[in-house]
Amino acid sequence: MDLLPEGLNKGIAIIGIVWCLVKCENKESRYEIQEVVRKGSYGVVVSAVDTHTGKKVTIKKINNVLEHVTRILREIKLLRLLRHPDIVEIKHILLPPCPREFKDIYVVFELMECDLQHVIKANGSLSPEHYQFFLYQLLQGNVFHLDLKPKNILANAFCKLKLCDFGQQHCMLDFFFWRG
């Protein structure tokens, strides 16, 4: 007879899988939070400084992880598997020290200052050259994304674009991808 609630079983399973997939750190000792970047349906995103390297990072806090176990695990597995220059990179996963406290997780990504939606809104209207440059980057990467929209395309200060939010994605064999 299973004495643990279904959600807790899933939570313990995801902790074990995540520990195997990524290097986990203690967020209190490693990262200095700078500012809130945005708030989303799954939690909050902040910019921070990695005190070990001095580099800026983005930390995404995912609230109530047990409600979205499948999606979160799928996204973490895909991002760790893909390791592509045009896909945002996971640096670390921060978990609570005790599995009984498992409610939220923190995913540390490389810093991308904003998303393409913000770039378009902030500049009012972009030139045809901007759109051409952005499309060139997206097509050059040969990455298939099922939920491609400006909000899921991140940009840094040099207008380098990277894709994010792979929670809806599924692994596909190479022959399903179109290559030019």
CA distances from 102 to 63, 105, 171 (A): 10, 8, 27
Adjacency order of strands within the sheet including 114-115: 114-115, 153-155, 161-163
Q: Catalytic pick from 86, 147, 165, 174?
A: 147
Residue 115, judged by CB atoms within 10 A of its CB (0-12, 13-18, 19+), counts as buried
Long-range residue pairs from 168-175, CB within 8 A, at least 24 positions apart, any chain: 168/71, 169/74, 169/75, 169/78, 169/145, 170/74, 170/146, 171/78, 171/81, 172/144
Please give the C-alpha separations between residue 2 and each of 14, 65, 70, 75, 97, in angstroms, as whole numbers: 18, 21, 21, 28, 24
Residue 165 a catalytic site member: no
Q: Which residues are catalytic?
A: 147
